[in-house]
Amino acid sequence: MTININIRGGLYTLISPLVFDSFDSGFAQARVVYQAAPGNISPVTISGGIPVTGFSCTTLNICTANVPDLPNGLIRASFT
């Protein structure tokens, strides 16, 4: 037996970590499969991220942006 967990397409924004325990995995006689629902036309996105905008870039192509509400010691995002 398989237990299918069908998730409708869309953006699911998390405000805390998504935590699974052993009960979420099923057992030898019934495995659990998490999947996009049949017929979805849009993707399933589960995100704990926050949008980052307002990047400024240097001539060396180093870009930074301030990110509000980060844990202490983290003040900005950067990429090259």
Instruction: Supply the pLDDT for residue 80.
Output: 47
Residue 28 is predicted with a pLDDT of 84
Pick the closest to residue 78 from 52, 59, 43 (CA basis): 52
- The DSSP code for 71 is P
Domain residue spans of the chain: 1-49, 50-80
pLDDT in 10s for each residue of the chain, 80 residues: 899 999 999 999 887 778 888 888 888 888 899 999 999 999 999 988 777 788 888 888 888 887 776 665 555 555 54
pLDDT attached to residue 64: 83
What whole-number percentage of the chain has pLDDT above 70? 85
pLDDT at 70: 66
The answer to whether the predicted template modeling score (pTM) of the entire model surpasses 0.85 is: no
